[in-house]
Amino acid sequence: MRLSRYFLPVLKETPAEAQIVSHRYMLRAGMIKQASAGIYSWLPLGFKVLRKIEQIVHEEQARAGHIPMLMPTLQSADLWRESGRYEDYGEEMLRITDRHGRDMLYGPTNEELITDIFRSNVNSYKDLPLTLYHIQWKFRDEIRPRFGVMRGREFYMKDGYNFDLTKEDALHAYNRHLVSYLRTYERMGLQAIPMRADSGPIGGDDTHEFLVLADTGESEVFYDSAVTDIRLGAREIDYDDKAQCQAVMEEFTSLYARTDETHEEAAFAEVPEDRRRSARGIEVGQIFYFGTKYSEPMGANVVNHEGARVPVHMGSHGIGVSRLVGAIIEASHDDKGIIWPEGVTPFHCGIINLKQGDAEADAACEALYKALEGAGLEPLYDDRNERAGGKFATMDLIGLPWRITVGPRGLKNGVVELTSRRTGESEEMPPEAAIARITEIYAGV
């Protein structure tokens, strides 16, 4: 993309309403604009990051064998009356009346709707196991929305639902989700620690939240510092292998790691003192096993091997897709702006032309731009007629991990400058070497 043809309305001033760094930088970098309280438009740069995160979620769900579909945003109140949650849910549920006076709601979650789809179509254990998921806009009418997309009212979320014949199978689904979520977050450059949590209005006993450590997190968390040394890394996972998924789950959840909702001083005291940590965390996902909580009242039964009709065992699993954009910024920034991990960066590389209008510099930038596009990458070329200082400041603010700077002086020596946004380190090299380096970096992402 050529910046002269893009829509990147960066702000010089920090908007007064933004209290946390991700909100400030998302506004300043022209990623979002508030449409009304807790509701945002995703401007082009923000939308690109949102889509990258969505794509990673889809890819990792596919790898785990989960099946994508899409449920609508608006739901009939009838199903929620059937499960008993219509009254329970409180004022965070946005209740709507249509022109015929029917009670509707903007879905905050989809247990009822998916259970209805399941019970209408599945009758036999032969069709199990089954995990369906979707990524869709949700609404929670927060009384005091704040922190930008971190605690908005309209938010984009992946929610998935597993249907299994037995508790044992459902617990495998639980473990499979835990493992696939770990991989999902790692691909985004995030460490998200599974912590034993409280189930809230979803219900059920088994639940873990995934928390990213950050000073601005809304949750207080307590953990054994050894938990932060564990990575899934590149290990091969067979998501059908119950023992392997169980082992990974145990590896990641055996050490003490809890939110304040489930924190127990006595258990925490058993952690060696030099490894006891309390910190703040941002919740970026949660998994639940809740057995037959929805299948029993809603009649989601299948015929088992013995010919008896039994309610299915279910769980649900969520990833906050729009919230992740903010969480990644909270975890990866400096005082100049955002620092995108390679896995989610909106453009792979920036190109700065130090002397727009100089024939040689223009030609070198064009050649770089086309070569990077030809390598399947998306560069952002700042081809505006602006001062170099302004171009650097914008590029630092929007946080592309790599930048190539092109100027007449370097070109005389046949070199351009490749700079890492994270370390700030620069290296001069011929343009071809810079292209090769960038291509190699992204080949591994």
Nearer to a copy of itself, 15 or 408 (CB): 15
Nearer to a copy of itself, 37 or 247 (CB): 37
Nearer to a copy of itself, 237 or 433 (CB): 237
Nearest Cα to Cα of residue 93 among 101, 81, 290: 81
Shortest Cβ 101–a copy of itself spacing (Å): 11
C-alpha separations of 420 from 3, 340, 414, 437 in Å: 20, 11, 20, 12
Shortest Cβ 189–a copy of itself spacing (Å): 22
Shortest Cβ 70–a copy of itself spacing (Å): 4
Sign of the dihedral defined by the CA atoms of residues 385, 387, 389, 393, in that order: negative
Reduce the secondary structure of 243-257 to three states and give it as a string.
HHHHHHHHHHHCCCE
Nearer to a copy of itself, 68 or 203 (CB): 68
Shortest Cβ 386–a copy of itself spacing (Å): 11
Shortest Cβ 241–a copy of itself spacing (Å): 16
Interface ranges with a copy of itself (CB under 8 A) = 5-7, 9, 30, 33, 35-37, 39-44, 46-48, 50, 65, 67-76, 78, 91, 94, 96, 98-99, 102, 104, 106, 113, 116-117, 120-122, 127, 130, 132, 134, 137, 139, 141, 143, 153-154
Query: What values do phi and psi take at 20, rounded to 5?
Result: -120, 160
| Residue labelled with tokens 């794509």 | 55
Shortest Cβ 30–a copy of itself spacing (Å): 8
Shortest Cβ 38–a copy of itself spacing (Å): 9
Nearest Cα to Cα of residue 419 among 337, 341, 349: 349
Query: H helices within 272-407, ranges in order?
Result: 295-298, 321-331, 359-374, 388-398
Sign of the dihedral defined by the CA atoms of residues 256, 258, 262, 265, in that order: positive
Nearer to a copy of itself, 75 or 259 (CB): 75
User: Which amino acid type is present at position 196?
Assistant: R
Shortest Cβ 300–a copy of itself spacing (Å): 14
Nearest Cα to Cα of residue 407 among 437, 372, 423, 431: 431
Q: Are 429 and 416 in contact (CB under 8 A)?
A: yes
Nearer to a copy of itself, 207 or 322 (CB): 322
Nearer to a copy of itself, 121 or 423 (CB): 121
| Residue labelled with tokens 């922190």 | 147
| Residue labelled with tokens 């510092």 | 225
Nearer to a copy of itself, 137 or 268 (CB): 137
Q: Are 339 and 399 in contact (CB under 8 A)?
A: yes
Q: Are 228 and 279 in contact (CB under 8 A)?
A: no
